[in-house]
Chain A
Amino acid sequence: MLRVLAVMRRYVPLVSLVVFVAFIVAGLSLDEFRAVVVNAITICLSCIGIG
C-alpha cells in the first residue's frame, strides 16, 4: 500500500499540471480570457486606491 502511495506521489506534479491546463482550457471556453482583458484594459480606480 505504501509503495502504491509512493508511486502515486511521483506523478503528482504531472497530474497537477494536467489539471490546471484543463482549468485554462475550460476557462478559455467560457470566455474568461475576454473577461480578464476587459478588467485589465480599464483603469481600476479602486485597485489604485482612488475609488
Chain B
Amino acid sequence: MPRLTRRRWVQILSTVVLNPIVPNYFTGTIVQAQSKGICVPVLNCYSCPAAIGACPIGSLQHAVASIRFRLSTGEFQAGLYVLGSLGVVGSLVGRFPCGWLCPFGLLQEVLHKIPGPKLRLPRILKYLKYIILALTVFILPALVLNAAGFGDTWFCKWICPAGTLEAGLPLVAADADIRSMVGLLFVWKVALLVAFVLWMIVSLRPFCRTICPLGAILGLFNKISLLRLTVDHRRCLSCGSCSRACPVDLDVPTQPNSPECIRCLKCIKACDAGCIGYRFSPHGPAAEADRPVEQEAAAAGSPPDGPRRRPG
C-alpha cells in the first residue's frame, strides 16, 4: 500500500471534517445547523447530505440571483459576506485551499492515479474559468430573471459536477420524491460528471484548471496573498525538477505566484537545491526574492552575475 503524503492526509481530513454527517446519506436529508452559514473555502456542495458548511460559489450565485428582488423590497443584501469570506481566505493564503483542502481536488488527484494515457492541458484553457466565473456566477444570475425577480444559479444548475456527485446522486438514490423529479437536466449533469471523471483520469486536475470559478477567484489573490512562494534565483540550478513536479504545469522559477498555482508545495519538495520556499508575511509583492535574476540585474543596472548553476 502506498504511503500517503502529509498533504494527502490533510485533504482526507478536510473532506471528513467538512462532510461528517454520513448517516444523512441514507435518510436523504441535509444538515440544518447554523454552521451552514459559514462559507467553506472549497467546492463542497451545501446540498450534500453530509456537509456542514456552505459552498461559497453556490452562496454567491444565490446572493447575485436575488439582488434585484431584495433591492425592490428595500433589503440591501449584495453578497458582501460571501465575497468577504472569499476575499479574506484569498488575501491570507491565495489558492492554498485548492491544493490542500478541496474534496473535489482530492478526487481529481486520486482519479489521475489510474494508469493509462495522460494528456497535458492546452494553456489557453486556463482562461475558460474566468469566462465561466463572469458568465455563470455573476452576469447570467443577475440579468436573467423570472417573473418574481429571481435569477438562477447557472453554474450549479448547468455545470457543477461536484454538486452532482456530492448531492445530486446521493439524494436521488435516497429520496423517492426527488427521484420522481429526475429529468433531462439531471441526465445532462450526470453525463457531464462522467465526462469530467474521464478527463480527470487522463489530465491532472482539469476541473480546477479550466472550469472552477472558486479557483478563478482565489487565484486572483495569489500574487498579493500573505502566503507566498519564494524562489532564490541565485541558488537555482535551472534543473526543471520543480516544474516537472508542478501539477498545473507551471514554470515555477519564473511564475511562483501565478494565479494557476494551487499552492500544493510539491515544487518545494522537488527542489534539490532548496531554493524554493514559502513565507507568510504582510510584506507584499515588492519582495526581491520572487524576481528572476534578469529582473534583479535590470533593477540594479547590471547584467546577471553568471550562469545559474550550483558550483561543484
Contact = CB atoms under 8 A, between A and B. Distances in A.
A31 to B, nearest CB: 7
A11 B66 CA distance: 35
- Dominant SS among interface residues on chain A: helix
A47 B47 contact: yes
B94 to A, nearest CB: 10
Interface in A9-51: 9-14, 16-17, 19-28, 30-37, 39-41, 43-51
B224 A13 contact: yes
Interface stretch (B105-113, B246-254, B280-288): B280-288
Contacts of A48: 45, 47, 156, 163-164, 167-168, 171-172, 186, 189
Given A49-B185, A50-B168, A39 B88 contact: no
Interface residues of A, number: 40
Interface of A: 6-7, 9-14, 16-17, 19-28, 30-37, 39-41, 43-51
Given A21-B84, A40-B46, A51-B185, 19 more contacts: A10-B283, A10-B286, A11-B284, A13-B226, A13-B284, A20-B83, A20-B84, A28-B81, A36-B36, A36-B81, A37-B34, A39-B46, A39-B54, A44-B156, A47-B45, A48-B45, A48-B163, A49-B168, A50-B168
